[in-house]
Structure 1
């Protein structure tokens, strides 16, 4: 009969379960088309969008619009393009697209909410293990590779 006074020592080298790649828990592939977009593609898309917004604002807006213009153009660009075709100009250059988790088009209401939160910046830098920023989670969308 085992001695009840002896205790089993904890496993000295516990193995954590493997963490699935981003998006797999959402039903997306781990790699390739339809997988969650990496940070490099996202940053490239953001830089391209910001350059386009700045050029448009400087060319067409004056006065107060000149200072806040790039932000306004960035918002409108994301609102219209992501809501309708699922990608901005920067997204197209980077080879990524925004899609809803249920597969339907983003649409105007969710696109507006996402664009507003993205323009505020703070929600975009708060993200989860599936690389979904707060702006993506609130709008129930994910950014994937094309």
Structure 2
């Protein structure tokens, strides 16, 4: 059996006899449609919408003259962190996720992500680096550490 670190290296065995199937298969998720793994492009779009929302909220409170001050970026980061952690813990989705038809689900398929997982996941996203290392299921380090996966949610 492969060590866990080897699953992050391209071309290394992952203990699945070379056929991992579609992303999310090991968690019982479908290949396409409702509750399938959300694509990277959709996820990037969602986080960009969340950052834009945080930026606009800080501008609304601090005013346009705050742009360019040393504190402005930290206020945007803090606002984004609170919005993301709170909405993932309570609703399972950020505003950006909701707008693009996604939600954060636990890999054990429990009902709610919960506060500790949401705080950990959001803190790791804020560091940015873990987001760039995806496993075959499209999960970054932040999702693996919090035992979550981002899935599509079709409205209808």
TM-score under structure 1 normalisation? 0.83
Deviates more, 1:52-61 or 1:68-77: 52-61
Q: Does 1:59 align with 2:60?
A: yes
2: CA distance between counterparts of 1:19 and 1:77? 35
Question: How far apart are 1:67 and its partner, in Å?
Answer: 2.4
Structure 2 unaligned segments of length 5 or more: list them: 1-16
Query: For this pair of structures, how many residues does the alignment match?
Result: 131
Correspondence list, 1:2-21, <5 A: 17-21=18-22
2: CA distance between counterparts of 1:83 and 1:46? 16
Deviations 1:50-72 (CA, angstroms, capped at 9, x unpaired): 11011112222456541211111
2: CA distance between counterparts of 1:133 and 1:93? 21
Structure 1 unaligned segments of length 5 or more: list them: 1-15
- Kindly indicate whether the alpha-carbon contact (under 8 Å) linking 1:74 and 1:119 is maintained by their aligned counterparts in 2: no
Aligned counterpart in structure 2 of residue 139 of structure 1, from 133, 146, 155: 146
Q: Find runs of 4+ consecutive structure 1 residues off by over 2 angstroms.
A: 16-19, 61-65
Are residues 17 and 119 of structure 1, via their aligned partners in 2, closer, same or farther at CA, if it must alter by over 3 Å? Answer: closer
**Rg comparison, structure with higher value:** 1
User: SS of the counterpart of 1:99?
Assistant: strand
Question: How far apart are 1:73 and its partner, in Å?
Answer: 1.0
User: Which residue number corresponds to residue 88 of structure 1?
Assistant: 94
User: Which residue number corresponds to residue 108 of structure 1?
Assistant: 115
TM-score under structure 2 normalisation? 0.78
- Kindly indicate whether the alpha-carbon contact (under 8 Å) linking 1:58 and 1:69 is maintained by their aligned counterparts in 2: no
Deviations 1:67-114 (CA, angstroms, capped at 9, x unpaired): 211111111111100001000000001100001111221000111111
Question: How far apart are 1:40 and its partner, in Å?
Answer: 2.1
